[in-house]
Structure 1
Amino acid sequence: MDFRVLLEKAYGPKAHPKVLTPKPTRSRPRLVLANRENACGRMITNHKQVGFEVIVFNPKRTTPLHESYASLNSNHAMIVVHGASLTHSLFFRPGSVFIQVVPIGINWAAFADIGRGARSLNLEYSEYKIGVNESSLVDKSGKENFLLKDPSALLKKGWPSEFMKIYLKEQNVKLDLERFKSCLKEAYTKAKRFVDKNG
């Protein structure tokens, strides 16, 4: 939590008064979707169908940190597919809702790399593990392929670079909105509680 105080001093409105932050709404929480369009792989391809009025967060390498901080610190919930962009969770206020979408093959890293840190930041953390039909790999390989049935097989064969290439760079996510709905409902309830308490 001391690190959160440091971030606020470095990137908050007092340090950067000219940076515009979204105006708070009283009716419903703001949901940030970090969608990785400038990266390779793990993009949510049907994010416009989620049903929320979302703020798409798509930073570039040149985006100043204080602008990213302003965008995220003023919001109430975030959904992001596993990857380095999850470090932006550091910019969320304690109590914010944070959902990590976990692609096929990444289960082993999801909590170890991200979940543990999110919980230590006092975020309302949860994971949504995609099903086979939600992975773009099903179109390339078919449902019965060992890449989908046993992702660890590549690691057992000693091919860590192939594993990284397939699961982290070539895989996109198409959310099954019926399956994802309960996750969104829970996120909305928690985020609304956060808005009512913190604005």
Structure 2
Amino acid sequence: MAAEKKSVSNFTVRVGIVLIAGCILVPITLVTMFIHYAVPLQTLSLLFSVDPASSVILEGKIRSHNSGRSLCDFSSSRSDVCKLKGDVRIILTNASVVVVVVHPSAKHQSWRMKPHPRKNDRHALARVTEVSVTSTPAAELAPECTAKHAAAAVVFSVGGYAGNMFHDFTDVLVPLYITTRRFAGDVHLLVSDAQPWWLDKYRPLLRELSRRDIVDMDRGSLGGVHCYPHVIIGLDFHKEMSVDVANIAGGGGYNMADFARLLRRSYGLTRDTAIRLRDGDNNNGAVKAKKKAPRLLIISRRATRTFTNVGAIVRTAAALGYEVVVGETELHSDLGAFAQVVNSCDVLVGVHGAGLSNLVFLPARAVVVQVVPLGGLEAMAREDFGAPAIDMGLGYVQYDIAVEESTLARRYPRDHRVLRDPAAVRRDGWLALRSAYLVGQNVTLDVARFRAALSRALQLLRH
């Protein structure tokens, strides 16, 4: 009986120990799982890195309370941005930043980030130099300043898909405008992964964004430790090649049309407004010959998504009363000279692709006609170029080609999935879509059908 009682007692003790252990381990496990899935680990590691006295995690962001000195935001799907204030020191030779955080509970912390607005694109980020950021609790632990600056600095990478005009504007130039505008030109631009030709190509705009010399972190002669009262690492991204007014703190007071005006000024473009047609200037869709004709530019691509019947398009547009220009853009061409051509025009026509990025040089109230090739690309085309055009104050016409207008119709049988079911091809991933529709397709416009799009552009020039 005693042995039986002892056995029951031991069993009870063991059960009690298991229950107690479970009560301890289960909450810990749940908390760990919650943290892992609710907040990125990279964000957690920074909780006490920037102004630990006032920072909190909110919706995956690190924010500062009551005029806190620093803020890091890693919640965006496109861009990580750290805005550091106080004693910030940059070692240019190894792309490292040290911020001094003087507070009793401050700790020595460090993290790495790639300052380019394509954070989830591993192919783009492979061409982006990583920046090391360190938070230290005392100035004596930081490298000594060899140069002190009163102005702020912005650290960013051109990297990514530099040289593709769409990506130059979407990933770098428009985000740089959004990020630097608050400084009214009094800001240092510290750039990495920028080829000299790229800096030369966009130097007129870069000079408008900053009155100070650009610091090329890869090739510059500046050494030592440069100290700033305010440093932004990374660029604020809103949306494809545009400014989202709703995303600007306090309303901001600027938009994509303001960026376009700044761009026209930086390249010395003189036309601010497109031609305004009157109702009397049109006769069954054609502009009277005695009146000044609206000028139409056809962006001609060489490699893929080309117009195979440019001559027929030119004749159709001319019959409607347009003065037609055919232009090509090259990677290292004189952007300023081509910008002048674009600015002289009232309508821009092109197949979906980087060449349409030249719409940024058009005068206000001009019209963009985007030809969308086969492949279920309509929504992407509207997001990439349609929305930016409208945000700039331009008219927009989207022409979605029919199957018969694609050269793919002569390459595949009509029941092939490439022609019959583009959605299925898209489900195979970006590379499959790119191979089928962006690289392997040209366009032969049905000019009788396309005439309606050109007539619509004329109507927009009258309103």
Which range, TM-score by smaller chain? Answer: 0.7 to 0.9
Does structure 1 residue 8 correspond to structure 2 residue 278?
no
Cα drift, residue 5 of structure 1: 2.3
Q: Distance in 2 between matches of 1:187 and 1:65?
A: 26
Deviation string for 1:55-109 (max 9, x for gaps)? 1110111212211210101111011000111111101111001100000111231
- Counterpart in the other structure of 1:150: 421
Q: Answer yes or no: is the 8 Å Cα contact 1:98–1:124 preserved in 2.
A: yes
More strand by share: 2
Does structure 1 residue 30 correspond to structure 2 residue 295?
yes
Q: Give 1:8's aligned amino acid.
A: R
- Counterpart in the other structure of 1:172: 442
Q: What SS does structure 2 have at the residue aligned with 1:141?
A: coil
Cα drift, residue 26 of structure 1: 4.6
Q: What SS does structure 1 have at the residue aligned with 2:369?
A: strand
Q: What SS does structure 2 have at the residue aligned with 1:61?
A: coil
Does structure 1 residue 59 correspond to structure 2 residue 329?
yes
Q: 1:135 aligns with which of 406, 419, 429?
A: 406
Q: Distance in 2 between matches of 1:166 and 1:12?
A: 40
Show structure 1 runs of 5+ residues with no match. Answer: 15-24, 195-199
Q: Distance in 1 between matches of 2:413 and 2:364?
A: 41
- Counterpart in the other structure of 2:221: none
- TM-score, normalised via structure 2 length: 0.37
Task: Name whichever of 71-80 and 142-151 sits farther off.
Answer: 142-151
- Counterpart in the other structure of 2:342: 72
Cα drift, residue 13 of structure 1: 4.9
- Counterpart in the other structure of 2:285: none
Q: What SS does structure 2 have at the residue aligned with 1:56?
A: strand
Q: What SS does structure 2 have at the residue aligned with 1:104?
A: coil
Q: Distance in 2 between matches of 1:140 and 1:119?
A: 35
Q: Answer yes or no: is the 8 Å Cα contact 2:417–2:425 preserved in 1.
A: no
Does structure 1 residue 45 correspond to structure 2 residue 308?
yes
Q: What SS does structure 1 have at the residue aligned with 2:411?
A: helix
Cα drift, residue 111 of structure 1: 0.8
**CA RMSD of superposed structures (Å):** 1.8
Q: 2:361 aligns with which of 91, 106, 112?
A: 91
Q: Distance in 1 between matches of 2:430 and 2:329?
A: 28
Q: Answer yes or no: is the 8 Å Cα contact 2:295–2:347 preserved in 1.
A: yes
Q: Using a 3 Å threshold, how does the CA distance of structure 1 residues 92 and 35 change in structure 2: closer, same or farther?
A: same
Higher-Rg member (1/2) = 2
Q: Give 1:126's aligned amino acid.
A: V
Q: Which has the higher contact order (CA 8 A, sep 6+)?
A: 1
Q: Give 1:36's aligned amino acid.
A: R
Q: What SS does structure 2 have at the residue aligned with 1:99?
A: strand
Matched positions, count: 180
Q: Distance in 2 between matches of 1:85 and 1:153?
A: 28
Q: Distance in 1 between matches of 2:443 and 2:370?
A: 12
Q: Give 2:292's aligned amino acid.
A: S
Q: What percent of counterpart residues are identical?
A: 33
- Counterpart in the other structure of 1:20: none
**After TM superposition, what 4+ stretches of structure 1 lie above 6 angstroms from structure 2?**
none
Q: Distance in 2 between matches of 1:182 and 1:13?
A: 30
Q: Answer yes or no: is the 8 Å Cα contact 1:103–1:135 preserved in 2.
A: yes
Q: Distance in 2 between matches of 1:5 and 1:188?
A: 23
